[in-house]
Amino acid sequence: MTMTPAATPASLLSRSPLARRDFLRLTGLIGGGLAVGGLVSACGGDPGSSAASGGGGAVGTGKTIGLSLNGNNAYSSYVAEGVLKALEGTEYSFAGVQNDFDSSTELGNVQNLLSQGIAGLVVLPADATTIARAAQLAAQQDVPVGNALWPGESDADEYYAGVADLDSVEGGTMIGEWLIANATPGPVIVVQGIVGQGFSERIDEGLDAALEGSGFEVVIREQGFFARDTATSIVESGLQANPGVTAIVAYSASMSNGISAYLEANGLTGIAHVSSDADDEMFTWLETPYLSATRYYSAAQTGLLAAQAVRAALEGGEVTFDNVVEQSMVTAEDAAAAIEANPYRYEQFADQASI
């Protein structure tokens, strides 16, 4: 199976809001519980490989890789597509859960995956502390864990086989420097993701340091929980309280899509709106006055790198703990080149990763 690059901005979907994706074509998720059932096999097979562990046959034969995703949106689906890309050409099975951005659900779901005998685990955390505990439980059962959203060095690192290292302090710095170079100084609205993941806090750190003394002042900073409606409400109330806002920063494409739609509906074109990460809908907004730039990195790459670390641990290969995730500031002018160099998704796995 060959890689199919993501579509370029000019050929992406219209700007109508995308339906939220139900996670994984496995079994239905009931009340945030386990979504494991008829396991989905990774594509293809490699009967001639000698890298399989635990007996003969193709790589991964008889083994299941578990995937714990923090929630149910396009970004999570793209992480799953990256994991499936890492399993391409093997006989690993694939089972996943999504946790409704709830830490208690997250821990219970990982415990259930472990009880079903998974051989390896990839996690996209809802809460850094909870997923560290889950990784500890996995390590006690000799199940290697790859973290697709590593918050940075901590005592929990001993429980991870490898991590996708997205430097969010650097990402926040990049956003701040872009604003200084391209936007008008003034009040700024910041829409975080979820405090506790160890993600938003690090972007905050880099952004605040970059903006210090620049004339930009963060006047609103609230959690949007990666939900477009919540993010839109934060921006709407923030603009009402601070009519002179010159910049909006949202920490995910899923939130920026809603914000962009709100700005368009109200004819607000004079505000620099900067997003983070990428999804199909976001690139259509990037071609309009309602989204100026994004801190671009590939959700799929985070899943790919974390799963590759798990595979290496299972197969006796060389395990790289720290796997750097590429990131850059992207506008409409250079979006196509960024996607070609590092696709944000592997759409050929969409049917297996989401409904």
**Structural domains of the chain ordered from first start:** 9-166+299-353 (3.40.50.2300), 168-296 (3.40.50.2300)
More confident residue, 2 or 147: 147
Q: Which distant-in-sequence residues (6+ apart) come within 8 Å of 266 by Cβ?
A: none
**Are the beta carbons of 306 and 122 closer than 8 angstroms?**
yes
**Dihedrals phi, psi of 92, to nearest 5 degrees:** -65, 145
> Which position has the token pair 């409904």?
355
Residue 10 has pLDDT above 90, yes or no: no
Q: Which residue has the higher pLDDT, 47 or 60?
A: 60
pLDDT of residue 310: 98
Residue 67: strand, helix, or coil: strand
pTM flag (> 0.95): no
Q: What is the mean pLDDT of residues 108-134?
A: 96
DSSP, collapsed to helix, strand or coil, labels residue 263 as helix
Are 45 and 91 in contact, with CB atoms under 8 Å apart?
A: yes
- pLDDT tens track for 186-209: 999 999 999 988 899 999 999 999
The residues, ordered by sequence, that sit 6+ positions from 214 with a Cβ below 8 Å of its Cβ are 176, 179, 180, 185
Question: Are the CB atoms for 243 and 32 separated by under 8 Å?
Answer: no
Provide the residue type at 33 as one letter: G
Which of 43-52, 66-75, 235-244, 265-274 has the weakest average pLDDT?
A: 43-52
pLDDT in tens, 18-59: 333 333 333 222 223 334 332 333 343 332 232 333 334 689
Write down the pLDDT at residue 178: 98
